[in-house]
Amino acid sequence: MKVHSNFTGQKSTKRLIAFSCATALASFTLIARPAFAEEAKADNASNLDVTATTTANVETTADLVETKVVEAPVTTENVASTENTTNVSEQASTSTASSETASETASTTTSESQAPAESVSGQTREAVTTDRAASEAASATADTNSETNVTGGQYYSDSLGNWYYKDASGKNLTGAQKIDGINVYFDENGIQVKGNFSKNKQYYDADSGALVTDCYINHLGGVYYVDKNGEPLKGAQTIQGKQVYFNDYNGLQVRDGFASNEHFYDKDGNLVTDSYVFSTKYNYNNTIYPFYVDKNGDKLKGEQIINGKSVYFDKYDGAQVRNSVADNGRFYDQDGNLVDLGKKHYVFIDNHWFYVDEDGKILKGEQVIDGVKVYFTPYYGYQIKGDFNSDGQFYDKDTGELVTNRYIQLTRYESNGSMAPTLETHWYYLGADGKVVTGPQVIDGVRVYFNYRGHQAKGDFGYDGYYYDKDTGALVKNSFVSLEQPSGTLIYYLDNEGNTIKGEQIINGKHLNFGEYGIQVKGNFAPNGLFYDAITGEPVTNRYVQINDQSNSYNTLENKDKWFYIGSDSKALKGEQVINGVTVFFDKDGVQAKGIFADDGFYYDKDSGARVNLGNNQFVQVNGNWYYLNNEGKIVKGEQVINGNNFYFDKDGKQVKGNFAENGAYYDENSGVQVTNRYVNFNNNWYRIGAKGTPLKGAHVVDGHNVFFDQDGKQIKGDFASDGYYYSKNSGDRVDLGQNHYQNINNNWYYIGNDGKRLTGEQVIDGVEVYFDSTGKQVKGNFAENDSFYDKDSGARLKEQFVDLNGKTYYVDAKGKRLREGGVRTINGKEYTFTGGADPHLAREEFLYPYGYSSFYDLNNKEVKGPQFVKAKNGNRYYITASGHVPLGLHIINGELYMFDAPTNKYADGRVRANGLTEDYFPSLIPNGSHIYYFDKETATAIKNQYKEVNGNWYYFGPNWYALTGEQTIDGAHVYFHRDGKQAKGELVTVNDKLHYYDPNSGARTENTTLTIEGKTYHFDAEGNGKLLN
């Protein structure tokens, strides 16, 4: 760091003013602002204040101070044209960037007073009286104008905007200090603390750096109160007559929530008493629970009388019970008021049955009522019907009685390891204890099987390997059985023990084959090489066949629909054969040759497969390809000399034309004759074919021209070759580019060395470190293969600075190497945080590690503290909790419901699931345990208390955000929603054993009406209950 003091005129002493919260506002308005010189910045696109900055921090009259800025020299560069073959070394001039950083070449003017390099927004100050503020401000102004220097020491700033104070001995001060009567603080690196808490846990002003005392402050989105010593208060406090609370650990004020003392504080942080308060408590239906705090701010619990109403609050956390059964067995409605349900009878509430005992309390758990074993959920108290309880016992869907020793059929959601459960129908058997049986069983003398979930095996194999009848479920023996699969129908035979048989078998006098896995071979070859009929399954002899069954084939799919001839031994014939007087041919797999030249060299007809005589010693064209037949009438292959000319035929006998053959030689596109001593164009590249018919490679002199061909024989044109020379894009001739100068070709810079060749790799030219890649192109504005970054203009290697590339900011060290380890790094006395992984860069608008499982950093490389939403550079938005976590799933934030998805945790915006709907699944043991939500596409919040049409279906999303189901009363109309949330319109629906009909337009329940529906006439009474008339 170079520091220059450029003061002229008489020096005078200066006194800074210590600001208390009582004088801050007025003082800031009246004190003369410091002047700032212009900035001399290196070319750096980073938003961080990491460029070299020249700052004059002067608080005095303009005539007393001379501010100087020494600018870095400007680089210039002259370039040579692309195809200019004259020597341009004397004309081209490439200036280089100085390795000295801009911060070293710029002059930094210092002052005894200091001005902030940056300010922390959101400072909150108490109001003060105008007279007092004006008086202190006037005093401050008078002192400032009378003194401009601090005896024996001075403030100064670095290029990053950090402030320091150097004492008379030239040493940077650290720790707590009092300068000109002002309490300030410098960290262990000498950097002044501003707008933050120091290590001594005191807060210092963002602008002046003075210790702040006796006032509220706003820091990183949170509110604190600092005492007379500048330290944050903690715990319960009374400030200006208001009872408030500050976090016991860090002093953050509790607002709009409960503190650790179980008291609730409003959005302004004041204690709430004698009132209902609302806080979020997550459970499966995402309900917002109210609480009630008494005159002391304590939460009420248990039974209470409030405003003459009997209410109940959870005995553990104090949340009010609403629309549910409390611990005392009483039911409280949706407003939380006690409901008298009578005694000793069933009641129907919110689509569920409950039982009220002789004390008027709702029963829970296993019960015997009127001699019937029934069950009520232990938490909510509703009766289990047509489902299992938590112990795995099943209760009848109509009576609710425990079912024992009986088969039942259920359609329910089953989890199969996929993202969402699927709706499936299965048979179960309930044992004497009412629980499903598993494994092999003998029931009523019949052997049956149930898997680990209790699903009965029917029309399929059980996990025990045996097959069970599709209708009765009984073990099948001595019988053929079939399974339908996507690949086709699979047929098995079960022996007298029910085992599947394999391999060759004689059944009912027929020779059959069941392969290696017990699947019958039909219309295919078996592992023994025999072909079995597609209909009878018996071996085939002396006939043509096609494979039409791929489900059990040892042949590949490419043989499907090919023709074979099965001989007398039931195996496929191979090679040349005469069948029914016709000469045919079969390859090594038995596939008949049709429309091709076979392995014997002859052509066989595409329809009949008969051998065709195409002549001999002549060229023939078949299917657009040329062949040559020898004196036997067979096709030739490889290199051939015909009529004194060299030709080539590939492995299938096709003549090579206009291409390179496998021997490396090129053959004319018209005649097919091997080419020698001439240029040819192949796939838009030029080649020179030599005297031996193969392409030249490397440097050659052809017809007096210096030319070059790469390792594949392609001529180099308009580029540098591997020999280091440049070759003309038109003629391909080597171009003399001179020596020792930069050359611009096709907007890329190269450097021509003293041998006329382009340089590669690390180089030092005119004292500047530069880099050229493997093709000779100069690296600019990017990292080179040596992990160093080179300036986008001069191409000079950059050192000890931040560089921007593709939206990311990196740091290069004193050797110019990229920082390769993430985490916290101290650079120029300031801490920066870099991401982890294979590409460490400055963490900005992103998480330290992928998928949101680490801290999030803002644009200024500051860790974001929750609770708040953030937007990452990739466009995704996230929510950071107060503890720094990223939530997954459903969460209530500021009274709104959001859904956060794994792994990226981008919150739902209506497109997470098709149709804008999102379903949150819960165990199938909970009746209607999955809820459907709709998240607004703009705000990402779940909608509630409104209808929503999605893909032609109507839903109603209730007060708890999820879609309502069952019969509901909305705006005075009785409506019905199916289990998937879709509204019933123009449908007959059975509700509590009563038939209801819902209007096809409004969806309202039909009442006091007679209607004919699908040819049947019904009458619906005043309650909407329907009766079939005819």
What is the Cα–Cα distance from 164 to 915, expressed in whole angstroms?
A: 59
Contact 640, 648 (CB under 8 A): yes
Architecture of domain 480-572: Ribbon (2.10)
Contact 204, 211 (CB under 8 A): yes
What is the Cα–Cα distance from 866 to 66, expressed in whole angstroms?
A: 46
Per residue in 801-822, pLDDT tens?
999 999 999 999 999 999 998 8
> What is the residue type of 599?
D
Cα angle, residue 56 at apex, residues 50 and 59 outer, rounded to 5°: 130
Per residue in 312-342, pLDDT tens?
999 888 999 988 899 899 999 888 999 999 9
Predicted local distance difference test score (pLDDT) of residue 287: 56
Residues 6 or more apart from 250 whose CB is under 8 A from it? 232
Once rounded to an integer, what is the mean pLDDT over residues 427-453? 96
Per residue in 451-475, pLDDT tens?
999 999 999 999 999 999 999 999 9
How sure is the predictor about 219, in pLDDT bands with cuts at 50, 70 and 90? confident
Once rounded to an integer, what is the mean pLDDT over residues 935-952? 88
Contact 963, 930 (CB under 8 A): no
Lookup result for tokens 């100064």: 156
Distance of CA 990 to CAs 716, 931, 977, 980, 997, Å? 83, 22, 12, 16, 9
| % of the chain at pLDDT higher than 90 | 63
Per residue in 267-321, pLDDT tens?
899 999 999 998 754 333 445 678 999 999 999 999 999 999 999 999 888 999 9
Contact 128, 44 (CB under 8 A): no
pTM greater than 0.85: no
**Nearest residue to 890 (alpha-carbon basis) of 950, 928, 933, 847:** 933
Per residue in 856-890, pLDDT tens?
899 999 998 888 888 888 778 888 877 677 777 77
Question: Where is mean pLDDT largest: 85-99, 501-515, 934-948?
Answer: 501-515
Predicted local distance difference test score (pLDDT) of residue 917: 63
What are the backbone angles phi and psi of residue 915, rounded to the nearest 5°?
70, 15
**Nearest residue to 888 (alpha-carbon basis) of 851, 926, 917:** 851
How sure is the predictor about 516, in pLDDT bands with cuts at 50, 70 and 90? very high
Give the SS3 label for residue 596. Answer: strand
Q: Residue 868's CB: how many other CB atoms inside 10 A?
A: 15
Predicted local distance difference test score (pLDDT) of residue 960: 82
Predicted local distance difference test score (pLDDT) of residue 758: 97
What is the Cα–Cα distance from 710 to 727, expressed in whole angstroms?
A: 12
What rounded mean pLDDT belongs to the chain? 82
Per residue in 379-399, pLDDT tens?
889 999 999 998 999 999 999
What is the Cα–Cα distance from 545 to 522, expressed in whole angstroms?
A: 12
Lowest mean pLDDT among 15-29, 425-439, 488-502, 683-697: 15-29
What is the Cα–Cα distance from 780 to 791, expressed in whole angstroms?
A: 5
Predicted local distance difference test score (pLDDT) of residue 534: 92
Residues 6 or more apart from 654 whose CB is under 8 A from it? 625, 626, 627
Lowest mean pLDDT among 16-20, 288-292, 699-703, 819-823: 16-20
Once rounded to an integer, what is the mean pLDDT over residues 1000-1020? 94
What is the Cα–Cα distance from 144 to 584, expressed in whole angstroms?
A: 113
Predicted local distance difference test score (pLDDT) of residue 491: 95
Please give the DSSP secondary-structure letter assigned to residue 841: -
Which residue did the predictor score with more confidence, 191 or 41?
191
The answer on pLDDT for 430 being more than 90 is: yes
What is the Cα–Cα distance from 436 to 878, expressed in whole angstroms?
A: 45
**Nearest residue to 798 (alpha-carbon basis) of 785, 812, 808:** 812
Per residue in 109-156, pLDDT tens?
333 333 333 333 333 333 333 333 333 333 333 333 333 334 568 899
363 torsion bin: left (phi>0), alpha (psi -120 to 50), beta (else)? beta
How sure is the predictor about 850, in pLDDT bands with cuts at 50, 70 and 90? low
Strand partners, 306: 309
Fold classification of 273-339 (topology level): left handed beta-beta-3-solenoid (2.10.270)
Predicted local distance difference test score (pLDDT) of residue 992: 82
Distance of CA 415 to CAs 320, 571, 663, Å? 34, 48, 61
Domain with CATH 2.10.270.10 in the chain: 273-339
Predicted local distance difference test score (pLDDT) of residue 113: 38
Give the SS3 label for residue 24. Answer: helix
The answer on pLDDT for 49 being more than 60 is: no
> What is the residue type of 119?
S
Predicted local distance difference test score (pLDDT) of residue 8: 34
Lookup result for tokens 């200090």: 177
Q: Residue 320's CB: how many other CB atoms inside 10 A?
A: 22
Once rounded to an integer, what is the mean pLDDT over residues 100-109? 34
Once rounded to an integer, what is the mean pLDDT over residues 82-90? 37
